[in-house]
Homo-oligomer: A and B are copies of this chain.
Amino acid sequence: MSKLLEGIKVLDVSQVAAVPMAARILADRGADVIHVENPKLGDQFRHLVRFMNQKTGIRSDVNYIWEQYNRNKKGITLDLSQEAGQAVLHRLVESMDVFLTNLRPFELERFRMEYPTLSRINPRLVAGFLTGFGKEGPDKDLPAYDHVAYWARSGIPHRMRALSPVLQGEDVVPPAFMPAFGDHTAGMSLACGVMMALFARERTGKGDEVHVSLFHSGAYQISFDLSGTLVTGEDCPVMDSYDDAPNALYGQYQSKDGRWVLFSVLRPDRYWSRFCRAVGREDLEEDPRFHPVENQLRNRVELRAIIQEIFGSKTLAEWRPILDAAQLPWAPVQSLLEVIDDRQARPNGLFIGYEHPEYGPMEGVTDPIKLAGYPESVRLPAPEFSQHTEEILLEYGYSWEDLTQLREQGVIF
């Protein structure tokens, strides 16, 4: 079986999360990806695991964050602030199919990497640009991270504000600490945009520019609600407590051992009888307080208390087989260790294993797309710093003398 993106050459001029992830999605499917790092600083993500070890006390010699975002790539260094570095980049671009970057518009201009420049060099080039707040508007050049641009500014935490059964109203604060969460939505969108442009290129022979912003990715995530605000001119409904939930089978309950059990039933009429039987409370099924379903909606706060009492009577381990057998739409809030061991995880290829030359056998998480004809593969570990600079530059026509000179100028490491 051949690889989906065999022969597709990608230049990944980015760091941290969103664009490296987009490039890795392509790399996992056979694209030849070259990741460009600054010869002095390197990619910030190279060093993050050291900080994580320090913070958490969980020591690991495996730079799993670096691997997760950069497996299957070759790595070179290039100082793009120097003209000589820009010249190397332009020469590479001649042969590329895809160019990806998270540099901001003013940096692209300063470094001669704007789309018109690149497109003149290679009209077949598909160029993908990730920004915090979009390529237009007064804030196009502002620095941005996931939390700021995807998260806070798009209104997501506002919508999540009042969602706890414990807290009420104004006390409830937005969640935070969600590393590289929006980056993954934006990275997937960028990969999708690149595939759209590659598809078009098959038909027209011409490249295109693709733009994705973290802010827009957040707005897309929350578009169910945002589309309402657009039309009604009213802010989204913020539920101040679970009493506002549509029905009592929608929400979370705590088991005897303090675990959260989440139900997501939008139409209780479809699940009510099954639920009552599963939890051994057939007496509730036709209880006039909760039957027919209209009464149940009216008395949902009372019902919620009864259901909490029911769930508090057994541990999660006791509930699992009961709720599964009843085919109810439920799940426990799992820990990450439980996710690793989840019986659906490995049969569905959530992880991919490979032999790392330094760490030995290890695994990473895959993206959620499974093409039957084109499975992902790991052919390369994430690159060491500047590992492939010489190899790549020689491949693209530079001589050993050129390399010595570029190194002396500090253009490469």
Contact B262 A176 (CB under 8 A): yes
Give, as a whole number of angstroms, the nearest-CB distance from A154 to chain B: 6
Q: How many copies does the complex hold?
A: 2
Contact B368 A219 (CB under 8 A): yes
What separation, in Å, do the CA atoms of A351 and B228 have in the docked complex?
A: 12
Contact B153 A342 (CB under 8 A): yes
Which of A188-196, A277-285, A303-311, A398-406 sits within the interface? A188-196
A152 contacts B by Cβ under 8 Å: yes
Which of A73-81, A85-93, A131-139, A389-397 sits within the interface? A131-139
Residues of B within 8 A of A142 (CB): 324, 327, 329
Instruction: Please name 10 further chain A to chain B contacts, defined as beta carbons within 8 Å, in addition to the given A188-B189, A199-B199, sorted by A numbering.
Output: A60-B228, A135-B348, A153-B342, A158-B333, A161-B333, A163-B177, A164-B175, A212-B370, A234-B337, A235-B335
Give, as a whole number of angstroms, the nearest-CB distance from A158 to chain B: 5
Contact A246 B68 (CB under 8 A): no
Residues of B within 8 A of A62 (CB): 231-232
Contact A336 B212 (CB under 8 A): no
Residues of B within 8 A of A191 (CB): 192
Residues of B within 8 A of A115 (CB): 372
Query: When each residue 134-159 of chain A gets 1 if its CB lies under 8 Å from chain B and 0 otherwise, what string results?
Result: 11111110111111110111110111
Q: Which 3 A-B pairs have the closest CB atoms?
A: A134-B348, A192-B192, A195-B195
Contact B246 A148 (CB under 8 A): no
Residue with the highest number of chain B CB atoms closer than 10 Å, among A178, A199, A335, A363: A199
A160 contacts B by Cβ under 8 Å: yes
What separation, in Å, do the CA atoms of A176 and B221 have in the docked complex?
A: 15
Contact A188 B177 (CB under 8 A): no
Contact A223 B136 (CB under 8 A): no
Contact B262 A152 (CB under 8 A): yes
Residue with the highest number of chain B CB atoms closer than 10 Å, among A179, A192, A235, A244: A192
Residue with the highest number of chain B CB atoms closer than 10 Å, among A152, A222, A351: A152
Query: When each residue 162-204 of chain A gets 1 if its CB lies under 8 Å from chain B and 0 otherwise, what string results?
Result: 0111110011111111111100111011111101111110110
Give, as a whole number of angstroms, the nearest-CB distance from A10 to chain B: 14
Contact B163 A175 (CB under 8 A): yes
